[in-house]
Amino acid sequence: MGKVLSFLTATRGKNGKLHWTDWVSYGYLTLGVFLMFGPVLWLVISSFKTEADLQRFPPTLLPYAQETVQVDGYDNPLPLFLMTGGDYEGQTLAQLRRVGSQAQMVDPANPDERLRVNIANREPVEKLHLATENYTELFERFNFLRFFWNSTFITVTATAIMLLVNSMAAFALSKYEFRGRMTVLLMVIGTLMIPQTVVLVPLFLIVTELGMFNSLWGVIIPGAATPTGVFLLRQYMITIPDEILDAARMDKASEWKIFWRIIVPLSAPAIAVLAILAIMWRWNDFLWPLIVLTQSENFTLQLALNSFQGELQTDWQSLLAMTVLTLLPISAVFMFLQKYIATGIASTGGK
């Protein structure tokens, strides 16, 4: 608490007072926390609500569910109501059935006697309840594990291929003097101008001709070489002193060994940054998978989410739970690596 207090009363002026601009700044930042985290938090909370609770308007902040009770002589648990008026005021009754504005109720302590009440005179008894069944149902009703596996497979494989291919190219462009180096560099810059979005049709033909239509490889391979990756790694590898390479060559190390045993370990920070970026790009990829993967068993999580939001207009509880599971891995990566992500993105200038 003391920490929070000293944080909130951080001083700028000499007399320990906050300047009004500090108040405005902290106000703005607090609003930012609310606006940036709030919507996602609301989604996560909502994903733990039961179907009935989700349809409530206005919604409650926390997930509630109506309490039920098992009454002798009835198979299913009955919903509980607190009577707020009429003959039975103050009593807690269980509902058998409702007909119009009348309901047949029963006292759980005295199950034989049926009571007829007006529904205006009662309020449901509620308790906090985490509807974890929203999540367990995902695994039963949908091919959720399949989508999760597809996404994971694409992300992991594409990242691995990209790191290898891009670091090999970066090594060649940073540590060798050869004719045509400038041309290759210009070519790499050239590819910056060709985002996937403008070559969708021919890319589709090429991927189809290579037999990768409706295959996870059709998503993995076309994006495996990125100009951003080559640049990022090259800029880092240039800073590795040539003397280390010369020393290794004296010891008769092959070029491949130099690459694998010296350059790659020494470039680990840059490779890590690129790996994080690649994981993010792949996991969140949407347009290209949407074109290549048309059969639902090949869907990635993003595609599944998108197609379900069309099909399951009213089935928000499955949709919300699925959304939470989709954003979970990336959020976990964010929690642990946010410092590196920030520096990585700032250094590449993004893609």
Partner 1 sequence: MLSIISPIMRIVEIPMLALQRLLGINKLAWVFLLPNLILFGLFAFLPVILNIFYATTGGDNVLLADRPYVGARNFGTLTDCSNFLDPNSCREDKFWRAVWNTVWFVTLQVGFMVGFSLLTAIILNRDIRARGFFRSVFFFPVLLSPVVVALVWKWILQREGVLNAFLDWTGVGGINWLVSADWAFGWSVFISVWAHMGFYTLILLAGLQAIPRDVYEAALMDRSSPWRTFRRITLPLLSPTMLVVLVLAMIKGVQTFDEVYAFTGGGPGTATTFIIQYIYEEGFAGAPRLFGLSAAASLLVAGVLVLLTLVQLWANRSNVDG
Please report, as residue ranges, which positions from 135 to 174 form the binding site for partner 1 (by CB under 8 A): 164-166, 168-169, 171-173
Distance CA 194, CA 174 (A): 23
Report the nearest approach of partner 1 to the CB of residue 153 (Å). 16
Distance CA 105, CA 79 (A): 10
- Positions 22 through 41 that interact with partner 1 (CB under 8 A): 22, 25-26, 28-29, 32-33, 35-37, 39-40
Kindly tell me the burial class for residue 319, based on how many C-beta atoms sit within 10 Å of its own C-beta (0-12, 13-18, 19 or more): buried
Q: Which of 209, 206, 200, 226 is nearest to 291 (CA)?
A: 200
Report the nearest approach of partner 1 to the CB of residue 332 (Å). 10
Which residues of 19-109 form beta strands (DSSP E)?
Answer: 64-66, 68-69, 78-83, 92-99, 102-107
- Which residues are 97's β-sheet partners? 104
Report the nearest approach of partner 1 to the CB of residue 1 (Å). 15
Nearer to partner 1, 102 or 307 (CB): 307
- Which residues are 124's β-sheet partners? 81
**How far is the CA of 155 from the CAs of 174, 207, 303, in angstroms?**
27, 18, 14
69 binds partner 1 (CB under 8 A): no
336 binds partner 1 (CB under 8 A): no
70 binds partner 1 (CB under 8 A): no
314 binds partner 1 (CB under 8 A): no
Query: Could you tell me which residues come within 8 angstroms of residue 168 by beta carbon, excluding any fewer than 6 positions away?
Result: 259
Which one of 71-79, 91-99, 109-117, 301-309 is the stretch in contact with partner 1 (CB under 8 A)?
301-309
Q: Fill in the amino acid letter for 118.
A: N
Neighbours of 50 (CB within 10 A): 18
Task: Compute the half-sphere exposure of residue 307: CA atoms within 13 Å on the CB side of its CA.
Answer: 18
192 binds partner 1 (CB under 8 A): yes
271 binds partner 1 (CB under 8 A): no
Which one of 99-107, 131-139, 141-149, 256-264 is the stretch in contact with partner 1 (CB under 8 A)?
256-264
Report the nearest approach of partner 1 to the CB of residue 6 (Å). 8
Nearer to partner 1, 109 or 182 (CB): 182
341 binds partner 1 (CB under 8 A): yes
95 binds partner 1 (CB under 8 A): no
The SS3 assignment for 187 reads helix
> How many chain residues interact with partner 1 (CB under 8 A)?
102
Of residues 221, 248, 262, 272, which one binds partner 1 by CB under 8 A?
221
Of residues 62, 128, 145, 187, which one binds partner 1 by CB under 8 A?
187
Q: For tokens 């597809």, what's the residue?
A: 150
Of residues 109, 178, 251, 311, which one binds partner 1 by CB under 8 A?
178
